Amino acid sequence: MKIARNFVLFLVLGLLGYPQVSGAQISDAPGVTVPSTISPTTLPTGVTLRSGISYDSSSPSDLLDAYLPKPSEVPAPAVVLIHGGGWVSGSRTDLSSEAARFAAAGFAAFTIDYRLEDPGDCLKQGPEGSDLLVCPAANPIPWVDPIEDAQTAVMYVIDNASDFNINPKRVGVLGASAGGWIAGMLATIGLASNANAQAETISPAPSTARLQVAVTWSGIFDLTTLQPTKVGQLPSGCAGDANCIDKFAPTGFDDLTGCTLQQCPQDFSEASPVTHVTNKNTPLYMFNSAQELVPVAQPQEMAAALSKVGVANNVVILPGEQHAQEYFDQAWDQTLAYFTQYLGNPLESPPTTSSPTTSPSQSNTTKTTIPWLPIGAGVLGAFALVGIMLIVARSRRSKNPHRQHKD
């Protein structure tokens, strides 16, 4: 529905968790939630689902679902999908159909839950007959929590690569909306971090594992430009975007950080992926609509920062007002192409990224094939040549008896 037809949709869309399911589609803005029943995804032929796997023993509610492709002798590449929902709603089932689509293409796909804010008591608002529920964040959580949950989930997948039959060196992430924000943080700070929930700070930490690629649908990369510096003032990052998220959920980022931009600008900066850009970041590919809730300035600013330090990136601007999974049909082919580029074709051997020179570790496992047929042919040819030479020599001696006597 367009804004001219239904103003409510843009209140609802927010930083959504927008599942592709049969029937009505559901979405949520920061501080807004819509109750719904998720329809189960019909799995493609050959795809198996392992549901409700605990990826963090210290937090039983942190679960993931594994959508595994048809068994193969070659370990599959893996994609971890991170749902949206404005940090207050959504679940791992929101991206179930996308995960099933990845598995059908030969990728192992994992959808994850992560910690959300408690939306508190909801008050019915909006036009008569609508399902809009406006909910304040009653119990905000440290904004580092969902990031750490996502890191833990990805590391769980990598650490259990043999169980899932995946290649731990061929792993990427896809994040939608608020999940795109998380994916952007993983692409910049990595899979391990030094986080201080009390001080609301986070920074990179050494890790042997890393992502090969990250893709975002309507991700947010700079919170500081989406909050007004003065009351009643349009945020600088919303300029030119008639549907900018701040117009419909002005306190969404305040709930995430626990304060306003004026009160704690450092927190807004720390919670922005663009702050953590370095030349060691993961390649990042960003999709956005031209006139949607997330202004195009967000991915463009991130792309400029990544390009400045030499990290591969691209921004795909789609026409219209669609947000995240809404533009699935337009974004799917190119999204799949990005993962195939960096993780390899699941139906073929892994991509070769190293030099042709064989490393010592490869030498220990490389089998040497001896060309027995050419060698055998050469030996037989040598024997034949010697035989011919002996016959010729005897013939010459029999024709020259004087020479034989002299000798």
**How far apart (Å, rounded) are the C-alpha atoms in residues 217 and 183?**
10
The burial class, CB within 10 Å (0-12 / 13-18 / 19+), for 174 is: buried
pLDDT at 206: 87
- pLDDT band at 211; cut points 50, 70, 90: very high
Phi, psi dihedrals of residue 171, rounded to the nearest 5°: -125, 135
Is pLDDT of 101 > 80?
A: yes
Q: Of the candidates 86, 275, 303, 301, which has an alpha carbon nearest to the alpha carbon of residue 214?
A: 303
Q: Provide mean pLDDT across the span 86-114.
A: 96
What does the longest C-alpha to C-alpha distance in the chain come to? 129
> Using 50, 70 and 90 to split pLDDT, how confident is the model at 140?
confident
Question: What's the token pair of residue 116?
Answer: 């959300």
Lowest mean per-residue pLDDT among 143-147, 179-183, 220-224, 257-261: 257-261
Burial of 80 (0-12, 13-18, 19+ CB in 10 A): buried
In this predicted structure, the answer to whether residue 199 has a pLDDT above a threshold of 90 is no
Q: Distance between CA 398 and CA 5 in Å, rounded? A: 114
Q: Residue 273: what pLDDT?
A: 98
pLDDT at residue 28 greater than cutoff 70: no
Mean pLDDT, rounded, of the chain: 77
pLDDT tens digits along 355-399? 333 333 333 333 333 344 444 445 455 555 555 555 545 555 554
pLDDT at 214: 98
- Which DSSP symbol is given to 41? P
Confidence at residue 175, expressed as pLDDT on a 0 to 100 scale:
98
Q: What is the mean pLDDT of residues 316-344?
A: 97
Q: What per-residue confidence (pLDDT) applies to 12?
A: 37
> What percent of the chain clears pLDDT 90, i.e. is strictly above it?
52
For residue 91, pLDDT beyond 50: yes
Confidence class for position 187, pLDDT limits 50, 70, 90: very high
pLDDT score recorded for residue 366: 31
Report residue 240 as tokens: 């030119």
Do 238 and 222 meet the contact criterion of CB atoms below 8 Å apart? no
Pairing outcome for strands 123-124 and 48-54: unpaired
Q: What is the mean pLDDT of residues 70-93?
A: 94
- Give pLDDT, residue 139: 65
Mean pLDDT of 35-43: 49
Query: Does the pLDDT value for residue 336 go beyond 80?
Result: yes
pLDDT one-digit tens code per residue, 264-284: 899 999 999 999 999 999 999
Evaluate if residue 23 carries a pLDDT over 70: no
Paired strand residues for 288: 317
pLDDT at 404 over 80: no
Residue 103 backbone phi and psi in degrees, to 5? -65, -35
Cβ proximity of 285 and 215 under 8 Å: yes
Given this model, what pLDDT does residue 252 score? 65
Which segment, 80-89, 248-257, 360-369, 385-394, is predicted with the most confidence on average?
80-89
